[in-house]
Amino acid sequence: MAQMIVGGKAREAGSRARTEIRNPANGEVVDTVPRGDAPDADAAVEAAAAAFPAWARTAPHQRAALLQKGAALIGAHAAELATLLTREQGKPLRESSLEISRFSDILRYYAGLADKLRGEQVPLAERGKFGLVVRQPIGVCAAIVPWNYPVHLMGSKIAPALIAGNTVVVKPASTTPLTAIRCVELLNEAGLPPGVLNVVTGPGGTVGEALLTHPLVRKIAFTGETATGRHVMAVAAHEIKRVTLELGGSDAMIVCDDADLDAAAAATVINRFWNAGQTCIATKRLFVFDAVADEFLAKLVGRVERLKVGDGLAKDTRMGPLHTARQRDEVEAMVADAVARGAQVLTGGARPDDPACAQGHFYLPTVLERVDPQSRIAREECFGPALPVFRVADLDEAIARANDSPYGLGSSVWTADLARAQEAAARLEAGYTWVNAVQIDYDELPFGGYKQSGYGKERGTEALDYYTESKSIVMAT
Ligand code: NAD
């Protein structure tokens, strides 16, 4: 039975209550986890605060060596972790394997930066004095993680936090705590001192809220819905806690009339249907030039219809179930709303009739045309496998419609014309623009949304700015 990890030790919830974690593909109980409460979160914060002074003083190369050792242990357990991730989250095994290897990669990436975190010596006008700027860790960081990438998004928080000398309390999403707990166990086994990395489980409204309000938590790294992020920011404001917020998105993809349509169609399948569409940087609105729309849609629909839907543990599965029944019902409602407003279903638009899918939260990969721009699927974030396609006259119209959204996470453009690509990259209001490339994020590049898609950056060297305070020191000689 999975346990919380506080101060290096397994911990049951104070109330002894436990929550069942179910497999989205068939409803079976995978395991149970403690249903923690505010006192459990408080205990984890206190353990992290107690561990902070010694960890902050630990030499950077020693911190790096521990993360490297942890990455190697994760690698050695990759098959076990990937299977557990598929069973609790639903994604196909090959996606889970990739997520586990990306978790090791991000630990290694920040381990490599440990001894490169530099300050500055600054000349001052006054004689006999000189200035220094040094980087210091912030203190206890809370890492609040969603269910769509429970391991990689934990990694993008804990790796820069730990390497900069902070200690961390992780709060996984209520429905995906198991692989995260196992990863934290392995990192502790690699030698992290007790209390440096803790994990507490339980509902966001109690355990999460306790982390937001605890005075010893100095920084909150949150990934989740924009509505929750707004609340996190408001609560954090009370004690001016540092925050990074990675929130919702409604990424636009633009396919111009000079694009390689086969490559664009192949990319669209990954962009929209990877992780059953439950990716923050999924393509959620597609704008295609009128002149090539019919040809592009025929290629796209052909590819979408070849996606094998099923249990993520089956070798030939390319798209698993949605993570919860609520997610599936939400996508279904958005498609129904679009259809009621005149949208045409080019493929999908229903649950699969395969009896093997009857016990899971499955929905067919769906492409919609002639979608009313006022439909919910066009205005809100659709976190599932349904893609609305809009025909546009030219690049100006595509960019204007792409930007007509409260979100600004990612975007992509497909064209053979570099000038057009540059123009789109400059004008699209989003933290990432891919040109003729699949929407895959890189640990080496800063990641974070414009507008209501977030605040601050994760990944890249930039993330370290969000896990350190810069301190000015004046020395009189
Ligand atoms: P969510 O906001 O429901 O939950 C995210 C986390 O916050 C969970 O761990 C949850 O338990 C916790 N939480 C909930 N209420 C809380 C509270 N009051 N105080 C503290 N913590 C609380 O989001 P979700 O449904 O798990 O994730 C899907 C959303 O995440 C989508 O909108 C998606 O676009 C977004 N997302 C964004 C990124 C990004 O990098 N921008 C990446 C992945 C997912």
Among 220, 100, 234, 238, CA closest to 466: 220
Q: What CA dihedral angle connects 428, 431, 436 and 441, to 10 degrees?
A: -170
pLDDT tens for each residue of the chain, 477 residues long: 999 999 999 999 999 999 999 999 999 999 999 999 999 999 999 999 999 999 999 999 999 999 999 999 999 999 999 999 999 999 999 999 999 999 999 999 999 999 999 999 999 999 999 999 999 999 999 999 999 999 999 999 999 999 999 999 999 999 999 999 999 999 999 999 999 999 999 999 999 999 999 999 999 999 999 999 999 999 999 999 999 999 999 999 999 999 999 999 999 999 999 999 999 999 999 999 999 999 999 999 999 999 999 999 999 999 999 999 999 999 999 999 999 999 999 999 999 999 999 999 999 999 999 999 999 999 999 999 999 999 999 999 999 999 999 999 999 999 999 999 999 999 999 999 999 999 999 999 999 999 999 999 999 999 999 999 999 999 998
Asked if 184 and 267 sit in the same domain, the reply is: no
The residue segments making up the domain with residue 275 are: 251-442
Catalytic residue among 183, 280, 357, 382: 280
Q: Does 364 lie in the same domain as 223?
A: no
Report yes or no on 447 lying in a domain: no
How many domains are contained in the chain? 2
The reply to whether 98 and 243 lie within a common domain is yes
Cα angle at 301 between 326 and 344, to 5 degrees? Answer: 65
Examine the domain organization and report whether 135 and 224 are in the same domain: yes
Distance 291 CA to ligand 1 centre (A): 39
User: Residue 225 and residue 246: Cα distance in Å, rounded?
Assistant: 8
Q: Are residues 393 and 426 in the same domain?
A: yes
CATH of the domain at 334: 3.40.309.10
Question: Is 246 considered catalytic here?
Answer: yes
> Ligand 1, atom 10: nearest CA belongs to which residue?
204
Are residue 209 and residue 266 in the same domain, yes or no? no
Q: Are residues 153 and 54 in the same domain?
A: yes
Q: Which two tokens stand for residue 379?
A: 């205005």
Residues 289, 303, single domain; the answer is yes
81 and 189 fall within a common domain: yes
CA of 224 to the centre of ligand 1 (A): 2
Mutate to test the pocket of ligand 1, among 213, 228, 274 (most ligand atoms within 8 A of CB): 228
- Please indicate whether residue 99, judged by its CB atom, sits closer than 6 Å to ligand 1: no
Runs of H (alpha helix) within 390-469: 395-403, 418-427
Q: Whose CA is nearest to atom 39 of ligand 1?
A: 246
**Within this chain, do residues 242 and 255 fall inside the same structural domain, yes or no?**
no
pTM metric for this prediction = 0.98
Q: Name the residue at shortest CA distance from atom 20 of ligand 1.
A: 208
Helix (H) or strand (E) holding 268: helix 261-273
Structure tokens at 344: 């045409």
Q: Is 246 in the pocket of ligand 1 (CB under 6 A)?
A: yes
Closest ligand 1 atom number to CA of residue 171: 9
Same domain, 220 and 277: no
Residues 193 and 320 in one domain: no
Query: Tell me, what CATH number does 147's domain have?
Result: 3.40.605.10
Residue whose Cα lies nearest atom 8 of ligand 1: it is 173
